[in-house]
Each structure stands twice: as structure tokens, then as C-alpha cells.
Structure 1
Amino acid sequence: MNAPTLIALLNVSALVTIMLSMGLRVDFKDVLASARPARLLASGLLANYVLAPAVTLGLLYVFRPAPMVSAGFLILAVCPGAPVGPPITAVAKGDVPRAVGMMLILAGLSTIASPALLSVLLPRVAPGSALRIDYPAIVRILLVTQLLPLTVGLGVRRAAPALVRRIDKPVGLLANALLLALVVVIVAAQYETLAAIRLRGWMGMGLLLLASLGVGWLCGGRDLATRKALAVTTATRNAAVGLVIATTNFGGTPAVTAVVAYGLVSIVGALGCALLLGKFAAVEPKNAHAQS
């Protein structure tokens, strides 16, 4: 089995297992709670589906990478709802239930929203190019690998809680193992290409991470914990979904490398920012007490 085939198989398996694990661990009432108040939900959708892609498009105009590289960044820009969002929100001492609910809502909506956004944005960075995406195929793939296992997990949790108590941990461990194996195989297969990325490219990815974090922060309302949750949720893009789209349409091209590179930057960078935000939370009460 060659590397591209192994990556594709691991990616689909990891995505299905991750989404199933998400559904098994979250009550549907938590998802509904995250939809309230409606103003905050609208702000989250605006941050993830409008502002973050707009910032990405703006930076692509500034840095002007090759069309395939631009395609990779745009793919991740329209794929929110990363499963690492809630644990990184916990590191930042943010509102974890809010992060979990937003992650599930974004993951479900991205099945339709991501291909639609990509169809609008891709021609703007590569006008007149030969870049083509099979949008109906993307929708079908995401329905099977993302929305279906998420729905099954939510349904099993609601209908058979005793079964969930037995299978929840093994499914979570399997999801983590598949995700780790996927990262190892991708880094091994893409090592030379990743090492060839110039400092300018890493700087651009760093700016995109900070801009996405800032967008989420500004859209998070007045509550500090909620702001942290939305900032982390917006900064971490769903690399597993992005890879499904990239490998299906642009396998073996720099688009896949761009998805891998920024996927790693968004996770590691968001974790670093979360550590700083967590310390900020620790000193805030002390300052408030001193002022009083």
C-alpha cells in the first residue's frame, strides 16, 4: 500500500471514529444549549464561516502563493469544528461546554457549508486556472464520514446509555490512536516538502492563526470564558475534514501539503495561545481584587 492510499484510509477512518466519539460523549441538550443565546450562535457562525475565510482570502492576496497552495489554505479556512477545540479550550480555562456545542454545530453544518463556500472562494484565488472540485462528491463524502457517524453517536447516547458507558472509552482511544497514526504517516510522507517551506510561508501561517484567534475573541461577547472558547474554536480548523477534501480533489499536490502544514500550525499555535490565556485567567481575579 502506497503512502497516499494509506493516508486516505487512515484519514477517513480517523474522521469517522472521531465524529462517532463526539456523538457518544455529548448530550443533545448540550448542543441545544450552545445555540442559545441566538446572538452568540450567530457570532460563532459569522466568525467561522465568514470572517475567518475572509481573513484567509485577504492574506492570500498579500502573500500570493501558488494556486494549489492557495486552494489548500482555503480548504482549511472553510472547515471549522476541529475536535481539538474543546481540550485546548480547557487549557485556556474557557467555557468547555460551549466549545463542545459549537464544535458539533460547526461540524454538522460544514457538511453543506464548506463545499458551498469553497465553490465561491476558490475562483477568487485562481481565476481562469484548471482548479476544479467535485462539489457533489465532497458533500456525499462528508455526509458519510462526518454527519452520519455524529448522528449515530448522538442517537446511541440517547437510546442506549448503558451501551455508551461500555464503548465510549474504547471508541475515544481508537479515535486518538488513528489520529496519531495519521499525523505520523503524513509527517513522514510529507517531511521533505514541509521542510522546504520558507520562513515567509511559516510567518504567513502564524499571521493567519493570530488573525483567526482575534476574530473569535472579538465575536465571543463580554464573558471571558466564552470569548476564549470561541477564539480557540475559530483558530483551530478541522484538518481531518480538510484532508478528505484535499486528497479527494488534489491528491499528491501542494494543496495537501498546505492543509497538513497549517493544520499542524493551528493546533500547536492554538495550544500555545491557550497556555497564555490560561495564565491570564489566573491573574485576572487577583487584579480585580486589588482594584477593589
Structure 2
Amino acid sequence: MDFLINVGLPVSLAIIMLSLGIGLEIADFRRVLTRKYPFAIGALCQVVLLPIAAFATVKLLGLPPEIAVGFMLLSFCPGGVTSNILTKFAKGDVALSVSLTAVISILSILTVPILAAWTIAHFMGEDAPEVSITGLAIAMFLITTLPVAIGISVRRFATGFANRIEGGLSKLAGALFLLIVIAAVAGNWQLFIENLGIMGTGLVSLNIALLLIGLGVSRAANLSWAECKSISIDTGIQNSTLGLTLAALITGTETGFSTLALPSAVYGVTMYVVVFPFLLWFRKR
């Protein structure tokens, strides 16, 4: 189990972020300057409204402290490659989705450690583990930002090679993630069973709320329908592998996966069930 957490989890996340970087170009970052308004609306939904909705959910449901922290850690995670793929399937604005994922994933090395430290102190109080914001930021840089930068460089200087390995990287990352989710749930099976009802209800409710918040805010901002679909999906889909990794970085690996990892593990499965009807609706419009 420790090998899976110490090696498998960070490797899986690094592969996911590498596959994200390989799908990116410098133009995806430059596009933010030419599409400031849609990007600002998407960033508002992801960086501000998403954590607020998660905080309201855990307070409303009265979740146990560690489960509540797990919810919040998940809410701090950017969308990742999955949101880009689902946006393409929904016939949304893929370019906007990619730009949001690229920039917010890079910014997360600054936002996530600070927000994670505050969340743990707020919900766990005296039982909170000590969190090094600097250490967490360095770890996130090494397993998220650095692989993205390497992927972008590969795309820039070896485009043909990037095209050949992109699909295989995504499949490998998906297989590793599935293994990690199974291990996280199995390692906390009793807690999983005890909290499945309220945790499942909270995750599904939050997921639906986020999809609707992204859609509602972007519609109110008079964005195009394609842009609205993209922002809805990017707000409602989080990188649950990063949530699992954050839980491991914060609590250590002496006792396997911690309770903090459960929401991300369960969400990694339920998000597809929740988003599927939205995708069908989006695709038809």
C-alpha cells in the first residue's frame, strides 16, 4: 500500500499532467489575453465559486471534519485533461476549456497550498496535522507544473512524437487512477461504508450544483452557448487524482490512504455518472 501511495500516486498524477502538457501549446496561454472576458468568467467559477459551493455543502450536511477537508481539497483542484475531453464531446468551446485548464493548473501551485492549510486548520482544529505551505507548493510544482512544462516543451520541439504518445499516456494514467481509487476505498472500507450515504449525497449534489453554477453564471454573462457549456463542465469536473495526492502529502503514508482521500476517490467515479446526462443535453443543443 505504501508503495502505491509513495510511487503509484505521484507517478499517476505526473503522467496525467504530462499528458495535459503534451496537448497544450503556447497559444493556449496567449489566448487568455485575447479572450479575457470568457476566461475571467470561467476562472471566477472555478477559483472562487467552486470552493464556496463546497464549503456550503459540507456545512449544510454537517460532514465529519476529515471528510469535510476531503471535500474542500477536491474543490481546490483544477479540471485537468478530463474536462477538455468532455467539453469536446459536448461540442463546447474546447479552446476556452484548454486555456482555463492550462492557466488554473499552473496557478494551483500558489492557491492550493494556502487554501489547503486554512481548510485543515478550520475543520480539524487541534487534531489538524502540521501543513508546510512551502513544502506542499514544492511538491505540487514537481508533480504538476513541471510535467506540464515538459509536455509543452515536447509538443513544441517534437510535435510528431507528442502526437504518437498522447493517447497512450492518457490510457496509462486512467488505468493507474482506477487502481488508486480501488486501493483508497479498500483501505478505508469501514469509513467508506459508514459515510457512503451522506458523502455520496454530498458529492452528487455538489457536482450537480457546480455544473448548474457554471452554466448559470456564464449565461448571465451573455457568453455564447459553446462557451457556457465549456465553463459548466470545467466548473463541475475536478482533477480527483490531485485531490488524492494532496491527501497523501498532507497526512503522510504510515497508515495508508487517509480519510481525507475518500471524497476524491468516490468522486472519481460518481462524476461520470452525474455529468453524463448534461453531456447528452449539451451535445444535442
Equivalent position of 1:257 in the other structure? 262
8 Å contact 2:184–2:261 — kept in the other structure?
A: no
- How does the TM-score come out when normalised to structure 1? 0.85
Q: Distance in 1 between matches of 2:122 and 2:146?
A: 32
* Identical columns (%): 25
Q: Which amino acid aligns with 2:7?
A: L
- Asked if the contact 1:243/1:259 (under 8 Å) is kept, the reply is yes
Partner of residue 201, structure 2: 203
Alignment gaps of 5+ in structure 2 = none
Cα distance in 1, alignment partners of residues 123 and 33 from structure 2? 33
User: Could you tell me whether the CA contact under 8 Å between 1:93 and 1:277 is conserved in 2?
Assistant: yes
1:64 to 41, 62, 65: 62
Q: Between Structure 1 and Structure 2, how many residues are aligned?
A: 278
What is the SS of the residue equivalent to 1:120? helix
Match of 1:102 among 62, 82, 100: 100
Code of the residue aligned with 1:243 in structure 2: it is L
1:8, 1:273 → 2: CA distance? Answer: 36
Structure 2 vs 1, CA of residues 265 and 170 (structure 1 numbering), >3 Å: closer, same or farther? closer
Aligned partners of 2:167 and 2:90: how far apart in 1? Answer: 24
Residue 268, structure 1, aligned to residue 273, structure 2: yes
Out of 155, 158, 162, the residue aligned to residue 157 of structure 1 is: 155
Aligned letter for 1:230? Answer: I
Query: Aligned partners of 2:15, 2:118: CA distance in 1, in Å?
Result: 30
Q: Tell me by how many angstroms 1:11 deviates.
A: 1.6
Instruction: Give the superposed CA RMSD.
Output: 2.2
Which whole-Å CA distance do the structure 1 matches of 2:276 and 2:130 have between them? 34
Query: Is this contact kept in 1: 2:188–2:258, CA < 8 A?
Result: no
Q: Mark the CA change 1:270 to 1:64 in structure 2 (over 3 Å): closer, same or farther.
A: same
Q: 1: CA distance between counterparts of 2:113 and 2:272?
A: 23
Structure 1 residues 99-119: Cα deviation after superposition (integer angstroms, max 9, x where no partner) = 122112121111111112223
Which whole-Å deviations, capped at 9, do the CAs of 1:15-74 have from their partners, x for residues lacking one? 111111121122221232245321222222211111110111112211111111111111
CA–CA separation in structure 1 for the residues paired with 2:196 and 2:174: 31
Which whole-Å CA distance do the structure 2 matches of 1:246 and 1:73 have between them?
A: 11
| TM-score, normalised by the number of residues in structure 2 | 0.87
**Any idea what SS the aligned residue of 1:197 has?**
helix
Query: 2:70·2:263 contact (CA, 8 Å) conserved in 1?
Result: yes
Tell me whether 1:238 sits opposite 2:270 in the alignment. no
- Whichever of the two has the greater Rg, that structure is 1
Contact 2:92 2:227 in 1 (8 A): yes
Structure 1 partner of 2:77: 79
2:227 corresponds to: 226
Asked if the contact 1:92/1:278 (under 8 Å) is kept, the reply is yes
Instruction: Go from structure 1 to structure 2 and tell me whether the alpha carbon gap of 1:157 and 1:273 turns closer, same or farther (over 3 Å shift).
Output: same
Structure 2 residue identity aligned to 1:258: P
SS state at 1:74 partner: helix
| Structure 1 gap segments, 5+ residues each | 282-292
Between the aligned partners of 1:255 and 1:106, the Cα distance in structure 2 is: 23
